[in-house]
A and B are shown apart, each in its own frame.
Chain A
Amino acid sequence: MNKSTIVVGGGIAGMTAAGELSRLGVEVTLVEQEQISGGHAACWDRLFPTRRPAEEVISFLREQTDSKVNTFSGRPVTEILHHESMFTATLSDGTILRGESLVLATGYDLFDASRKEEYGYGIYDNVITSAELEGWFKNHQPVRTKNGRIPSRVAFIHCVGSRDEKVGNLYCSKVCCITGVKQAIEVKEALPACDVYSFYMDLRMFDRNFEELYFEAQKNYGINFIRGRLSECSENEDHTLVVKTEDTLTGKPMKMIVDLVVLLVGFVPRSQNTQMLLKLKLITGNDGFLQPEDEHNGDNLTRIPGLFITGAVKGPVTIANAVADARATALQVYSFLHSNR
Chain B
Amino acid sequence: MNIQGKRNIWKDYQKEIATDRYFYVRSCVRQNFFPGSEKAFLRILKEELSRDVYENASHTTCSGIGYHSDVVPFETAMTMVARQFALMTESGYENFTTSCITSFGLYSEILETWHHFPEVEERIREHLLRATGRTFKKPANLSHASDVIFKFRKEIAEKAKHRLINRKTGNPLKVVEHIGCHYSKMFPSKGVGGAEYPYVLVGMIEEWGGEVIDYPERRHCCGFGFRQYLVKANRGYSLACSKKKFESMAPYKPDFILTNCPGCPMFLDRWQYALSEMEGITYGENGFGIPVLTYEELAGLVLGYDPWDLGLQVHQVTVDPLLDKLGVDYDPSAKFTGKNGIDLGKPEPPTFLKFYQNE
Q: Report which A residues bind B (CB closer than 8 A).
A: 114, 117-118, 120-125, 232, 234-237, 239, 242
Shortest Cβ distance from B9 into A: residue: A117
Q: Is A122 a contact of B5 with CB atoms below 8 Å?
A: yes
- Which of B56-64, B138-146, B213-221, B263-271 is the contact stretch? B213-221
Contacts of A114 in B (CB 8 A): 5, 8-9
Complex: A124 Cα to B197 Cα, angstroms: 12
Partner of B196, one of A117, A237, A242: A117
Contacts of A123 in B (CB 8 A): 1-2, 5-6, 9, 197
**Which A-B residue pairs are the 9 nearest by beta carbons?**
A123-B5, A122-B5, A117-B196, A242-B216, A234-B216, A118-B196, A123-B6, A117-B9, A123-B2
Q: Tell me if B's interface is mostly helix, strand, loop or mixed.
A: loop
B interface size (C-beta, 8 A): 19
25 A-B pairs with C-beta separation under 8 A? A114-B5, A117-B9, A117-B194, A117-B195, A117-B197, A118-B196, A120-B5, A121-B5, A123-B1, A123-B5, A124-B1, A124-B5, A125-B1, A125-B2, A232-B219, A234-B214, A234-B215, A234-B216, A234-B218, A234-B219, A235-B1, A235-B214, A236-B216, A237-B251, A237-B252
Q: Is B216 a contact of A122 with CB atoms below 8 Å?
A: no
Q: Which of B1, B195, B252 neighbours the largest number of chain A CB atoms within 10 Å of its CB?
A: B1
Contacts of B219 in A (CB 8 A): 118, 232, 234
Complex: A235 Cα to B5 Cα, angstroms: 14
Complex: A120 Cα to B8 Cα, angstroms: 12
Q: Type the 1/0 row for B268-293, where 1 means its CB is closer than 8 Å to any CB of A.
A: 00000000000000000000000000
Contacts of A239 in B (CB 8 A): 1
B202-251 with Cβ < 8 A to chain A: 214-219, 251
Contacts of B214 in A (CB 8 A): 234-235
Determine how close the nearest CB of chain B comes to the CB of A212; give it in whole angstroms.
38
Complex: A145 Cα to B218 Cα, angstroms: 23
Contacts of A124 in B (CB 8 A): 1-2, 5
Complex: A116 Cα to B216 Cα, angstroms: 17
Known A-B contacts: A114-B8, A242-B216. Give 16 more (CB < 8 A): A114-B5, A114-B9, A117-B9, A117-B194, A117-B195, A120-B5, A121-B5, A122-B4, A123-B2, A123-B5, A125-B2, A234-B214, A234-B216, A234-B217, A235-B214, A237-B252
Shortest Cβ distance from A236 into B: residue: B216
Contacts of B195 in A (CB 8 A): 117
Q: Type the 1/0 row for B97-110, where 1 means its CB is closer than 8 Å to any CB of A.
A: 00000000000000
Determine how close the nearest CB of chain B comes to the CB of A312; give it in whole angstroms.
27
Determine how close the nearest CB of chain B comes to the CB of A1; give it in whole angstroms.
48
Contacts of A121 in B (CB 8 A): 5
Q: Is B8 a contact of A122 with CB atoms below 8 Å?
A: yes
Determine how close the nearest CB of chain A comes to the CB of B10; give it in whole angstroms.
11
Contacts of B251 in A (CB 8 A): 237
Determine how close the nearest CB of chain B comes to the CB of A176; give it in whole angstroms.
22
Contacts of A118 in B (CB 8 A): 196, 219
Complex: A118 Cα to B197 Cα, angstroms: 8
Contacts of B5 in A (CB 8 A): 114, 120-124
Shortest Cβ distance from A242 into B: residue: B216
Q: Is B216 a contact of A235 with CB atoms below 8 Å?
A: yes
Complex: A122 Cα to B197 Cα, angstroms: 13
Contacts of A237 in B (CB 8 A): 251-252
Complex: A236 Cα to B194 Cα, angstroms: 22
Contacts of B217 in A (CB 8 A): 234
Contacts of A232 in B (CB 8 A): 196, 219
Contacts of A236 in B (CB 8 A): 216
Complex: A44 Cα to B217 Cα, angstroms: 36
Determine how close the nearest CB of chain B comes to the CB of A246; give it in whole angstroms.
15
Q: Which of A121, A234, A235, A242 neighbours the largest number of chain B CB atoms within 10 Å of its CB?
A: A234
Q: Type the 1/0 row for B1-27, where 1 means its CB is closer than 8 Å to any CB of A.
A: 110111011000000000000000000
Complex: A37 Cα to B263 Cα, angstroms: 59
Contacts of A122 in B (CB 8 A): 2, 4-5, 8
Shortest Cβ distance from B252 into A: residue: A237
Complex: A122 Cα to B7 Cα, angstroms: 10
Shortest Cβ distance from A239 into B: residue: B1
Q: Which of A120, A123, A125 neighbours the largest number of chain B CB atoms within 10 Å of its CB?
A: A123
